[in-house]
Structure 1
Amino acid sequence: MGQCCSKDSADKAVPITNTSVGGRNGSYQTQPQPAPPKPTPTAVPAPQPAAYQSAPPAPVTNTKPIVPPISAPAPVPPKPVVAPDTILGKPYQDIRSFYTLGKELGRGQFGVTYLCTDNATGHLYACKSISKRKLVSKADKEDIKREISIMQHLSGQANIVEFRGAYEDKSNVHVVMELCAGGELFDKIIAKGHYSERAAASMCRAIVNVVYACHFMGVMHRDLKPENFLLATKDEDAMLKATDFGLSVFIEEGKVYRDIVGSAYYVAPEVLRRNYGKEIDVWSAGVILYILLSGVPPFWAETEKGIFDAILEGEIDFESPPWPSISSSAKDLVRKMLTQDPKKRITSAQVLQHPWLREGEASDKPIDSAVLSRMKQFRAMNKLKKMALKVIAENLNEDEIKGLKQMFINIDTDGSGTITYEELKAGLAKLGSKLTEAEVKQLMEAADVDGNGSIDYAEFITATMHRHKLERDEHLYKAFNYFDKDNSGYITRDELEAALLEHEMGDATAIKEIISEVDTDNDGRINYEEFVAMMRGGMQQPMKLK
């Protein structure tokens, strides 16, 4: 789903096996690769997303007294209609209602990437338009759906492209994301003509930040390579962004992964042995680091089979130039990242603590934690919105909450099924946040809906789920009906009072505050349109940490 550039490398990564494996094209087959020339140490290779209008009053044609009409019951909001062939599981939307599509930025196997402009703000983004007729199998459609779900889940991290929204019409699925105008990582290296160890450390830290964020949030990337990293701008100090999650999956604890995916030079040995887990991402990041430092891949051959044999053999050249002039600390990190046994391989968290990264350059800004951003948003919500979020969270399917489930497990270190203040503080610290104790306590109080001093699983999902999930009309409809017990089309004071009592979330004062905030037509009750406006309010611009 990365933003297409002018080259084919921006497409979905080509799976790398002679054995058929399920994938975007039905079955994956080996793609012939041109034999790379024997690398020279100084050459850097360049691997190449209405309301009803009132009619005028009729003229009076008789003198009979006018009898006031009997008030009709308020209409129940219509249930959104979802087309039977939809991929995203929500009603069709015209993307042009939200964005103006501009020039073509690139073209790939499944679609075209355009420059697009937000109609409301004028901000520029990239829009990947995927042709539905090219998604021939159920697996193809599931791949797109999963990739969008993962991008939503990870959006908000500093080194991951920001997801803006997904829209579907009869012909295409459109994915709008942050525009990365700085080009590919390796293109910048080549244009610059040189690359210092200090600069390599900075780039490595950004890449491993992506790996760490993915793993902590329950995602395995499976296709880390330089082509999947773009620079946000053309500035010298532009931030590096991971842009393609087409082969990524939500990690299922205890599952052994066997399908061979990835790109030849960067694939880990255990992938070739068909028995792997998230450790493969550290290996791939290690290969990128080796190239950043030396200009050549650590495992190469004239054929794809030769590359795989070299990877399985695992011999790494630290003798040829420029390695004698590379620091021992840098070489130590490369060795630990390219350890054959995944159980002995360094983890992403350990990589970020390695002396070469910690001491090679001043510490970077902390990771822009998505979970923290969402908890801050949650804290600012009124109690009706929090209750509605909980109703929606309880109705999400397993696929929609996989990553959050893994995050909960990671933070709940004692496995008690609840997150204490200390666990929350430690978990947020792992995500790179530097909050004061008072700020952590405020977040704890916001997420702890029932006020028992800890955050249970449902409360965590409610506080941290991605706000884009709320764009689904069917979720909002279910939540509205939960409060509208008599199906009148309105949430009344009595219904609101009953809900607050059930959830132990407030009193008469809270009811008054909610009504005054949400009831924009001042009729003393909340209709569906007011409810939707409340739920979607403040969602369009994700909150950023400072």
Structure 2
Amino acid sequence: MGLCLSKGKIREAKSNGYRSGGGGGAEMHYQKVKPQQREIQYTKSPVRQPNQLPERRAAAAAAGAQPAAHLPSKPVPSPKPVHRPDSILGKPYEDVKSCYTSGKELGRGQFGVTHLCTENSTGHQYACKSISKRKLVTKNDKEDIKREIQIMQHLSGQPNIVEFKGAYEDKQSVHLVMELCAGGELFDRIIAKGHYSERAAASICRAIVNVVHVCHFMGVMHRDLKPENFLLSDKKENALLKATDFGLSVFIEEGKVYRDIVGSAYYVAPEVLRRRYGKEIDIWSAGVMLYILLSGVPPFWAETEKGIFDAILKGEIDFESAPWPSISSSAKDLVRKMLTQDPKKRITPAQVLEHPWIREGGEASDKPIDSAVLSRMKQFRAMNKLKKLALKVIAENLSEEEIQGLKAMFTNMDTDNSGTITYEELKTGLARLGSKLTEAEVKQLMEAADVDGNGAIDYIEFITATMHRHKLEREEHLYKAFQYFDKDNSGFITRDELETAMKEYGMGDEATIKEIISEVDTDNDGRINYEEFCAMMRSGTQQPGKLF
């Protein structure tokens, strides 16, 4: 085929697991030896030739807009910072140095440099990846970064996914601040060890498939799962595994047949090469990783990429060479099911997690998944009623692009297709995401999300409760929400206007309205101005350690 699926996205020498877009480095090559002496061999090689696929860009979350200035009459967006027409992220330029102090270099690549950075306000350390805008030439380059940021925002909050902190843009670069993982790449441990014990491999496989399970449940297909795209939280043997690099990921469109060839050569599924695939490709890639974890070599390999592709399409898996005779039949059974040629017959993420081999030995030490939707609902529960209502108003006006993925989550939870999520459906859906909440806690979340109090969560209520706060708190959204309440465009929300809006949503009572005015009206003039409204909407969302 002649297509380079690895795209030159190879490990940085001494990069501590953070790549900044590609470039030279240590590349993995597998050399075939005698059947009973198969081993993995790693050599240095030059940078890929120009026929490679485009590099993936790094990602993180879009940071919230700056607070608006106080306005005496009609509210308008703050004049500072100024939105630039050449902005890639579609928001005002921000100086990342005003929030973070840059430290030592962690990695360098074709598109930029990753540094250790320290948050000025808290002293917490993160990784900051700075991508030169001069490298982002085409429209697709810019869209790739924006899509990856959207996906990272959507998936954030999972224990096995690198947490983003924020995205900043200035005239020269886009800066992506994310969780610092000091343990480096899983790929490096494979090189160092050759293979793991079955117990260690099962633990790692659980974490990898947990990522796939959550991604698919939340409407995302990763499309480039491989050891290089997993970082370790620290250098300990039992370090938490973190998925990163969502540059090739897409929001799943139900019914769509994907045809573009993406991924990395050793891990690509046969249906990708046939240009007709769906989300099942992620389990195939995870199966290849499991095979390597158990044996130290990939199941399909050759001296050329064409040879690798031919082997993948042929689908013959070697379970005869060492160490496979000493590997348990249960482990081999799982590998076979994950590497089934027909995607319709391939094992699903949920089935993998229920497989006897995964559940045997070491299961007790496996950390449970805490779902992003759970974390978001917990914060939503603590909001005052005006904030909930304002978010509901914003959610009703979001574009399809902004709610991708959440629609899939809602559909997955709404098992009877009624258009609403009942208490039982919410409890079941959270359990599928790995939540271990008590019934009382699920009921509390239900009450928090059920804004109109009818005993079920409708689509808009679900979007409101789970949409990432950074998206909801963009300047343009806040301005539109304020205008909704400020019916006479006076620049203030009066008691009567608040009462009208609250009653429209079945939330208006004297005590509630009095409580809202008391909470939000900081200058005690009996009205809510735009500055007070924005402060209320953004309150409680920037605390260290919080999801939002």
TM-score over 0.5 for the pair:
yes
Distance (whole Å) between structure 2 residues aligned to residue 9 and residue 466 of structure 1: 25
Please name the residue that 1:38 is paired with.
32
Provide Cα deviations, 1:186-222, integer angstroms capped at 9, x if missing partner: 3234445762110010011011111011000000000
- 2:232 aligns with 231
Counterpart CA distance in 1 for 2:12 and 2:475 is 30
Distance verdict in 2 for CA 1:44–1:469, change over 3 Å: farther
Q: Which amino acid in structure 1 is aligned with residue 533 of structure 2?
A: F
State the 1:41 CA deviation.
3.7
TM-superposed CA distance for 1:451, in Å, is: 1.4
C-alpha deviations, 1:234-293, integer Å up to 9, x for none?
223210001110000000001000000000000000000000000000000000000000
Q: Distance in 1 between matches of 2:42 and 2:310?
A: 21
Listed as ranges, the matches of 1:45-194 within 5 Å are 74=73, 76-78=75-77, 81-191=82-192
Give SS of 2:311's match: helix
Provide closer, same or farther for how the CA distance between residues 2 and 168 of structure 1 changes in structure 2, counting only shifts above 3 A. farther
3-state secondary structure, aligned to 1:116: strand
Check conservation: 2:334, 2:357, Cα contact below 8 A: yes
Q: Provide the rounded CA distance (Å) in 2 between the counterparts of 1:96 and 1:127.
A: 11
Q: Which moved more, 1:374-383 or 1:186-195?
A: 186-195
Instruction: Provide structure 2 residue ranges, at least 5 long, that are not aligned to the other structure.
Output: 1-8, 46-57, 59-66
SS class of match (2:396): helix
Structure 1: which amino acid aligns with 2:422? Answer: T
Equivalences for residues 285-434 of structure 1 within 5 A: 285-363=286-364, 364-434=366-436
Q: Against the structure 1 CA distance between its residues 9 and 510, is the aligned structure 2 distance closer, same or farther, given a 3 Å change threshold?
A: closer
Stretch deviating more after TM superposition (385-394 or 138-147): 385-394
SS of the equivalent of 1:395 reads coil
Measure, in 1, the Cα distance between the counterparts of 2:466 and 2:13: 33
Query: What is the percent sequence identity of the aligned residues?
Result: 79
* Aligned equivalents of 1:252, 1:218: Cα separation in 2: 8
Q: CA deviation at 1:308?
A: 0.1
* Pair 1:521-2:523 in alignment: yes
Q: 1:465 to 1:474 in 2, by over 3 A?
A: same
- Give, in angstroms, the shift of residue 297 of structure 1: 0.3
| CA distances 1:15-38 after superposition (whole Å, capped 9, x unpaired) | xxxxxxxxxxxxxxxxxx986422
Relative to 1, partners in 2 of residues 1:533 and 1:477: Cα closer, same or farther, differing over 3 Å?
A: same
Which residue does 2:268 correspond to in 1?
267
Closer/same/farther in 2, CA of residues 506 and 34 from structure 1, 3 Å limit: closer
Map of 2:508 onto structure 1: 506
- Cα gap change, 1:448/1:384 in structure 2, threshold over 3 Å: closer, same or farther? same
Contact 2:100 2:119 in 1 (8 A): yes
* Backbone CA RMSD of aligned residues: 2.6
Contact 1:490–1:528, Cα closer than 8 Å, also in 2: yes
Instruction: Please give the secondary structure, in 1, of the residue aligned with 2:405.
Output: helix
The answer (yes or no) to whether the contact 2:28–2:42 under 8 Å persists in 1 is: no
Distance 1:91 1:446 in 2: 33
Kept in 2, the 8 Å contact 1:392–1:478? The answer is yes
Structure 1 residues 192 and 344, CA gap change in structure 2 (3 angstroms): closer
Cα 1:368–1:475 change in 2 (3 A) is: same
1:204 is aligned with what amino acid? C
Query: What is the deviation of 1:406?
Result: 0.7
* 1:436–1:36 distance in 2 versus 1, CA, 3 Å: closer
Alignment partner, residue 49 of structure 2: none
Structure 1, unpaired ranges of 5+: 15-32, 54-71
Number of matched residues? Answer: 509
TM-score (norm 1): 0.88
Contact 1:9–1:47, Cα closer than 8 Å, also in 2: no
Per the TM alignment, residue 74 of structure 1 is displaced from its structure 2 partner at its CA by: 3.2
* Alpha-carbon shift at residue 108 of structure 1 (Å): 1.7
Deviation string for 1:505-545 (max 9, x for gaps)? 13111112212222222222222222222211121247779
Does structure 2 conserve the Cα–Cα contact (< 8 Å) formed by 1:221 and 1:281?
A: yes
Which position in structure 1 is the counterpart of 2:466? 464
CA contact (8 A) 2:18 2:106 kept: no
After superposition, the Cα gap between the structure-2 partners of 1:327 and 1:11, relative to the gap in structure 1 and judged at 3 Å, is farther
1: CA distance, partners of 2:440 / 2:29: 59
Once residues 545 and 19 of structure 2 are traced to their aligned partners in structure 1, the CA distance between those partners, rounded to angstroms, is 29
Structure 2: which amino acid aligns with 1:526?
A: I
In structure 1, the partner of 2:64 is none
Corresponding residue for 1:485? Answer: 487
With 38-47 and 192-201 compared, the bigger mean Cα shift is at: 38-47
Give the 3-state SS of the residue equivalent to 2:176 in structure 1.
strand
Structure having the higher Rg: 1
Give 2:494's aligned amino acid.
T
Q: 1:268 to 1:170 in 2, by over 3 A?
A: same
Deviation, structure 1 residue 86? 1.6
> Which 10-residue stretch deviates more, 128-137 or 320-329?
128-137
Cα distance change on mapping 1:309 and 1:43 into 2, 3 Å: closer
